[in-house]
A = this chain, B = another copy of it.
Amino acid sequence: MKLNNLATNRIPWVNDNGTVISSRIRLARNISKVPFPCKASKNEQAGVFDAIVGVIPEIIELRNAQVLRLNDYDKIDRRLLMERHLVSYDLASKATGEPGLIFNSNEEVSVMVNEEDHYRLQSISQGLSIAHSWNMLSAIDDSLNEKLNFAFHERYGFLTSCPTNTGTGLRASCLLHLPALAMTESMEKLVSGLLKMNISVRGFYGEGSQPLGDIFQVSNAVSLGKSETELIENFEKIVETVIKYEQEAKNKISMGTLKARMEDRISRAYGILTHARAIDSEEAIGHLTKLKLTDDMGMNLSFNRDQLDQLVFIIQPGHLQEMENSILEETRRDIYRAEFIRKRLFN
């Protein structure tokens, strides 16, 4: 465990209110004529890592970036990085090769090295800020492109390990809190509607994960056949539509039986968070996100609002153990988490 300083920093991309928690752009890039990570030897992967580390000093946005060789970091450190959305589950679990991470001090820009592709460039920021993220990442991509020989095909665009990323290599995603759509049982309909527009909806931890606390990740499923600007504009419009749907669902909930049911859920969440002596992450996330709705429902519950949105993410096992600076087995961790939430939220 080496990253407890990082764990005590506020997660910068967590938006303190509104439906859109964060926006993210990522670009998949590979060095020409070097096998993709799934086929590359450890040496070849080390070469991929060294190549980008060598050019970092020349990229303004990454000049003071931290460089982590993930093989030097244990499970808890890796889990922490995942909870801060700096690495994917796949990179965090990598047991072979030379997985790496480069990220600047405000954690807005980062590069995963030797995940599915050689490089996954990422920019992540609060709220609905896709265009901002794109501008930032595009500049870095241009600089890197000048220095590293990215695999590019005139007809197909950027070549990537998985064909779904070929073309622009771009994925735009937003983390959305959609409690009203979830409560009115409209998510299934929304998900299938979005799928027809090539938008994927995923769970709390992204691909293959379940939703927790009504938090969903939406992202473009196709990166080919359109320009980056078109993809981004299209995606942003769709997210704005989802926000509108959520608002409409909230209006429904502000009346009648649904209102009573939502008030019950929020009030119970408060009762459990103030009284539980032990609580796991999933349950805690579910209750914490319910408290985010107190204002919408005009309820008067006393808790530290400035802590709430951060807590949704930092009560996860990586953060908890780094902050406590010790390995806590599950039962002990659940007890510690319950205390931690009480201290932060109700003191």
Residues of A within 8 A of B (CB): 257, 260-261, 263-264, 267-268, 270-278, 331, 335, 338
Contacts and interface: CB of A to CB of B under 8 A. Distances in A.
With most chain B CB atoms within 10 A of its CB, the pick from A260, A261, A275, A276 is A275
Contacts of A277: 260, 263-264, 267-268
A264 B274 CA distance: 11
A328 to B, nearest CB: 14
Interface of A is mostly: helix
Given A260-B277, A264-B338, A271-B273, 19 more contacts: A260-B278, A260-B331, A260-B335, A263-B277, A264-B276, A264-B277, A264-B278, A267-B275, A267-B276, A267-B277, A268-B275, A268-B277, A270-B275, A271-B271, A271-B272, A271-B275, A271-B276, A272-B272, A272-B275
Nearest to A338: B264
Contacts of A263: 277
Contacts of A270: 275
Closest 7 CB pairs of A and B: A271-B275, A271-B271, A264-B277, A267-B275, A264-B278, A267-B277, A263-B277
